[in-house]
A and B are shown apart, each in its own frame.
Chain A
Amino acid sequence: MNLALRDIRHNLGRFLLTCLGLGLLLGVALAMVGIYRGLVDEALSLARGLQADLWVVEAGSRGPFAEASRIPGDVREAVARLSGVVAAGSLTFQTVEARHAGGPGSDAAPTEDVVRERGGEAGRPRIGAVLRLQVVGHEPGRPGGPPGLVAGRGIGRGRLEMVADRSSGLPLGAMVEMAGTRFRVVGLTARTVSTGGDPLAWITLRDAQELQFRLSPPAARRAQAGGGGGQPQDTVNAVVARLSPNARAEEVASVIRRWKHFSALTAAEQENVLTRSVVERARRQIGLFTAVLLLVSAVIVALIIYTLTMDKMREIATLKLIGAPDRSIVALIMQQALMLGGIAFAGGTALLLSVKDAFPRRVLLGPEEVVGFGLLVLMICLAASLLGVRYALRIEPAQALGG
């Protein structure tokens, strides 16, 4: 006879309400885990999406995502000549506030994918709306271009074209204005965002260099008056290289590190930089918040189980008096704690999975996270029930007697 189940059935409404409250709390805690995983995934998606085996950057810099890095564009040729390098491409990165300048297809209704990736916002950005984009300047046909187009085409040799992530909401054919220059969206990618969650947009290296390094007319005049010709425009933030399958990235990197003014990072090192430094604070922040939520959940479970046990003081005393062993009483309390945690976890998880696409940034939950979190919740419930168990074991059978 399962006393825990029978007691729950007897107070089903109260138990389900308790599960609902706890489920919401666990759902928030699980969302934090998903947000963290999404953050890391988004941070790595850029570096992984570019499919580079090696990153050549300015000496003393940890790459374009962590620190400023400026190197001459012609370094690409030197890198491409290295033994083991199959191809190399120059890249620039800059965050730009662009303006949606209309264009064909701009008024069309967005697809479900677009709505989901835009965090549930209904509709495309209005014409004239300001968009925050991470613009990648690349050399078409060389490493560093947009990965996995889901619509349209890549950028050809032509200028003033753009491939944008569809989470920007921009349709094919849309015009985007950046620093007074208009670009036409010719292709769309999916799930390519910057470490800050901004949609990526690829344009040609030359366009990007003009955007990034071109001086405004007054600044150019001042530079000329000062005797300088301004900065050389063939500057890039990094050169990425793809290696032959036989080449060892670390060996090629060590060759480049011997060059004056340059450094090199392997793909693994670049990912390490991204996860360790770029998202480290966010990771700690979310991790701490998740830990606090789990602690609060544990306290709540402990209080609920303790209160449920206190409510059953007379029943437990009666059970002891009629000869029920301690294990039956411990089982009664622990099973209720596990059922509470299990149902709340299932409810919270189901709720989160149904709304996770509405979050403005990616919430990434795989079976590993869900199962791991579930096991953690069960352990918390077991630990939290110990307070109730301790109380129950201290109840004297004599408390069943008398009025």
Chain B
Amino acid sequence: MMPAPLVELIGIAKGFGQGEARVQALEGITLSVAPGEVVGLRGPSGSGKSTLLNLVACILEPDAGVLRLAGETVWEGGWRRRDLRALRREKIGFIFQFHNLLPFLDATDNVALALTLAGIELPEARRQARALLDHLQVGKRATAMPAKLSGGEAQRVAIARALANQPRIILADEPTAALDSERAGVVMDLLRQVAREQSAAVLVVTHDDKIFARFDRMVSLRDGRIEAAGLPAAALTAV
């Protein structure tokens, strides 16, 4: 029996603007990501990738459809949850293109911050953060400030922060864009490892065709619609 999807979008639509100036960014998007699955989202500029990611992150409100996250209906004709920030804190981990580590906190505290926001006391949060950094093989750089980290190290710390609260959903916005091929491959392997270990659903927006092979599934968007969905090789040939 297939496990219930952690990310589920049914007939999602989103437009911006009014009247003639209105742009339909997404139309009839139906997509699901299962636990342990790593799904890539690709498409040309303006195809609706970022809008889709923002919708799943509950940053944007859909116009129509149903949005379910980790089994909870989050949007259906309106938000079903009042505190969306708490929802993100509890269920979603974010990985950014340029790591977005807070420059005034060292690696440990960048990770510990996510834990303290979830209510864990600072000493315990720091202990867990160090363990996570060790697990991601950046433990030796635990006290380094972000400016002193290499691109790959910083992205690992960012991944550690995203994983700190053991979210069921991980959203990544071009996580390998600032990395060379080798480091990009390492980061993707790490995401695959996390997806397996934590049974998390990973949705990655990417343009980086060098890492397509590392996805379980690729979804191609064009003009706000899903153009192709399937194995990475199929998506590559379809677009």
Interface residues of A (CB under 8 A from B): 1, 3, 6-7, 9-11, 314-315, 318-325, 328, 396-398, 400-403
Q: How far is the CA of A242 from the CA of B54 in the complex (A)?
A: 85
Q: How far is the CA of A176 from the CA of B96 in the complex (A)?
A: 83
- CB-CB nearest 10 A-B residue pairs: A323-B89, A10-B104, A7-B104, A318-B100, A398-B59, A6-B104, A401-B173, A323-B88, A323-B85, A397-B59
Chain B 90-128 residues near chain A, CB threshold 8 A? 90, 94, 96-98, 100, 102-105, 109, 112-114, 116-118, 122
Q: Is the CB of A318 within 8 A of B117?
A: no
CB-CB contacts of B56-78 with A at 8 A, as 1s and 0s?
01011000000000000000000
20 pairs, A vs B, C-beta closer than 8 Å: A1-B116, A6-B109, A318-B96, A319-B102, A320-B85, A321-B88, A321-B94, A322-B88, A322-B117, A323-B88, A324-B117, A325-B117, A328-B117, A397-B57, A398-B54, A398-B59, A400-B94, A400-B96, A401-B54, A402-B50
Residues of A within 8 A of B100 (CB): 314-315, 318, 400
Q: How far is the CA of A402 from the CA of B172 in the complex (A)?
A: 10
Q: Is the CB of B94 within 8 A of A322?
A: yes
8 Å CB contact of B59 from A324, A396, A403: A396
Residues of A within 8 A of B90 (CB): 323
Q: Is the CB of B177 within 8 A of A1?
A: no
**B213 contacts the other chain (CB 8 A):** no
Residues of A within 8 A of B96 (CB): 318, 400-401
| Contacts A1-B116, A400-B96 given; does A324 touch B85 at CB 8 Å | yes
Number of interface residues of B (CB under 8 A): 33
Q: Is the CB of A315 within 8 A of B102?
A: yes
Given contact pairs A320-B85, A321-B94, A323-B118, a sample of 6 additional A-B residue pairs in the complex whose CB atoms are under 8 Å apart: A315-B100, A318-B96, A318-B102, A319-B102, A321-B59, A400-B100
Q: How far is the CA of A324 from the CA of B112 in the complex (A)?
A: 13
- How close is A272's CB to chain B, nearest CB, in angstroms? 56
Chain A residue at minimum C-beta to C-beta distance from B118: A323
Q: Is the CB of A9 within 8 A of B104?
A: yes
Chain A residue at minimum C-beta to C-beta distance from B54: A398
Main secondary structure of the interface of A (DSSP, over half): helix
Residues of B within 8 A of A314 (CB): 100
Q: How far is the CA of A3 from the CA of B105 in the complex (A)?
A: 8
**B161 contacts the other chain (CB 8 A):** yes
**B186 contacts the other chain (CB 8 A):** no
Q: How far is the CA of A351 from the CA of B41 in the complex (A)?
A: 61
Q: How far is the CA of A401 from the CA of B161 in the complex (A)?
A: 15
Q: Is the CB of B97 within 8 A of A1?
A: no
8 Å CB contact of B177 from A324, A396, A400, A403: A403
Q: How far is the CA of A398 from the CA of B50 in the complex (A)?
A: 9
Chain A residue at minimum C-beta to C-beta distance from B106: A6
Residues of B within 8 A of A403 (CB): 97-98, 174, 177
**B53 contacts the other chain (CB 8 A):** yes
Q: How far is the CA of A7 from the CA of B98 in the complex (A)?
A: 20
Residues of B within 8 A of A10 (CB): 103-104, 145
Q: How far is the CA of A56 from the CA of B90 in the complex (A)?
A: 83
Q: How far is the CA of A328 from the CA of B86 in the complex (A)?
A: 13
Q: Is the CB of B104 within 8 A of A3?
A: yes
Q: Is the CB of A402 within 8 A of B173?
A: yes
Residues of B within 8 A of A320 (CB): 85
Residues of A within 8 A of B113 (CB): 1, 3, 322
Q: How far is the CA of A403 from the CA of B105 in the complex (A)?
A: 21
